[in-house]
Structure formats: C-alpha cells, structure tokens
Amino acid sequence: MLLFRWAVLLLLLVAGVCFAFYAGTGQTRYRRIGWIVLKWTLLAAFGFFAVLIAERVA
C-alpha cells in the first residue's frame, strides 16, 4: 500500500515536471509525455482503489 502511494506520487511528480518543461521550452513532446504519464497513472490509481473498494464490499 505504501509502495503504491509513493509510486503514484512519483509518477504525478514526473507528469508535473514534463508540463513544466513544456511551459519552459514550448516543445510539444513534453506535453505529450506528460499527458501519457498522467493518464496511465490515474487509470492505475482508479483501478487499485476500485479493487480495494470491491474487497470491502465483498
């Protein structure tokens, strides 16, 4: 559980750094990488918490 929280926090930080690089340089590849990292991080987090909720219900 703690490991997953740290992984999500780190990936969100990576996405934020990518967006900061995009704002600083204007290169669209940083924005694209930031969106990809953010999308998959949020999908993984929602899936993880869905499993936790399903365990509580069952």
Question: Phi and psi for 26 in degrees, rounded to 5?
Answer: 80, 5
pLDDT, position 53: 94
Which pLDDT does position 2 carry in this prediction? 85
Domain spans of the chain, in order of start:
2-57
Place of tokens 């499993």: 51
d(CA 52, CA 46): 10
pLDDT tens-digit map of 7-30: 999 999 999 999 999 999 999 999
